[in-house]
Amino acid sequence: MILVFAAALVIAIILSFVMTPFVRKFAILVGAVDKPNHRKVHTSLMPRLGGLSIYLAFVMTLGMMLPILIKMGVDVQYNAVFAILIGGSIIVLVGALDDRVELSPKIKLLGQIIAACIVVFVFDLKVSFLTLPFGDAYNVNGMLSTFITLFWIIGVTNAINLIDGLDGLAAGVSAIATATLLVLSIMMGNVTVIILSCLLLGSILGFLYFNFHPAKIFMGDSGALFLGFVLATLSILGFKQAAIVSFVVPLLILGVPLSDTFFAIVRRIVKKAPISMADKSHLHHCLLQMGLTHRQTVLAIYAIATTFGFSAIVLSQGVLWVLILTAIVTILLTMLARKLGLIQQRERTMFRSVLNMTTQLLGFKS
């Protein structure tokens, strides 16, 4: 079985690596190029649609491995596999169109909602447990389960897209998150998540060779949205029955994009700006403004993402670690955000209010 997983990882790497140069030429041919502007770091036209190579490598390798798994009698959750294939295909189509013609945020959101609804209503993949870090496990069902699942999928999908601002950043952070999911799924013995994580990780790594600074191609929305969608769905699949860690661990696995998205939303609400409006106050922008080079900034965020991933693995081993590490991570994240200027004075007031509400929800007095 280990050889099968290893083969899936290697084949996905090779296919992604081989196809990316062809996807690059195709992007240039159809005019799917990213133009520089005041908030972007690159200064010349850059082909995007790189997400197609990630998607194609993922799907093609899955097509090769499924017959082998079936022949071996491996118990694969096919509803999850087809949910990711169908929903992911819709996401990639919407993202690819946006890479070419720049769709409106409403159209992109509609595509994400449709893909998320397919996961929830067609293949019945939902959050089963909601466990607060310092409380009991709650069995959620009905409308609450549906709402949480849809919110999670759409939120994570957009979170990965929001951090896609530097060469190799979104791809590298997604690879770290996927590797963390892979380790945890091995520990839990979840074969479906193991094989899908191997496929996704391999597809990302093959592409990352061309996407790391200086990049030869961007993944575009086709890649960022696809990665976010698959990671969100895999995290639901991997922890839907692991009551102790079902809330905390997925949050930590995706700690970098989710925290950056959270601070971005706070900034825009305080400034009374549309949530979808882009700005230059994301984590990578702040690190660049501090004097780090492009590559140093990306590597620094990789280190932060790895720390989150390691914390997720440790937290999965017991409730005591949940108590200790969640507090440490929260404190460090807040200190880092203030140091980098991710939250200014006006935002801090709102942040404190949110923090007080959260502590009350978790059973503590403010």
What pLDDT, on the 0 to 100 scale, is given for residue 324?
Answer: 60
pLDDT at 359: 44
Domain extent, residue 116, equals 2-361
The encoded tokens of residue 166 equal 């530097």
Strands 137-139 and 129-131: antiparallel
Contact (Cβ atoms closer than 8 angstroms) between residue 247 and residue 130 = yes
Angle 85-301-283 from CA coordinates, rounded to 5°: 95
| Domain-embedded: residue 303 | yes
262 within some domain: yes
Predicted pLDDT of residue 61: 97
In sequence order, the 6+-apart residues with CB closer than 8 A to the CB of 25 are none
Query: Residue 158 falls within a domain, yes or no?
Result: yes
Domain count for the chain: 1
Q: What is the pLDDT of residue 40?
A: 54
pTM exceeding 0.85: no
Q: Which residues of 212-232 are buried (b: 16+ CB within 10 A; e: fewer)?
A: bbebebbbbbbbbbbbbbbbb
Q: Quick one: CA torsion of 249, 261, 167, 112, rounded to 10 degrees? A: 90
Neighbours of 191 (CB within 10 A): 18
Query: Distance between CA 292 and CA 288 in Å, rounded?
Result: 5
Q: What is the pLDDT of residue 212?
A: 92
| Cβ neighbours around 81 below 10 Å, total | 18
- State the virtual CA torsion across 239, 241, 245, 248 in degrees, nearest 10: 60
Which two tokens mark 76?
């694969």
How far apart CA 239 and CA 316 sit, in angstroms, is 10
Q: Is residue 66 part of a domain?
A: yes
Predicted pLDDT at 42? 52
Sign of the CA dihedral with 236 first, then 164, 17, and 254 last: negative
In a domain, 31, yes or no: yes
Average pLDDT per block of 10 residues along the chain, 366 residues long = 93 98 94 71 76 97 94 90 96 95 91 96 83 59 87 90 84 92 89 95 97 91 94 80 49 71 67 62 67 82 84 68 59 56 48 46 41
Q: Is 170 within the bounds of a domain? A: yes
Whether 47 is in a domain gets the answer yes
CB 58 within 8 A of CB 203: yes
For the chain, count helices (H), then strands (E). 14, 4
At 106, list the tokens: 């409403």
- Which long-range CB contacts under 8 A does 140-146 form with residues at least 24 apart? 146/120
User: Cα separation of 251 and 203, whole Å?
Assistant: 23
- 103-120 burial, b if ≥16 CB within 10 A, otherwise e? beeeebbebbeebbbbbb
Residue type, 41: V
- Residues 230, 187, 70, CA angle at the centre, nearest 5°? 65
pLDDT score at 294: 78
Q: Is residue 366 part of a domain?
A: no
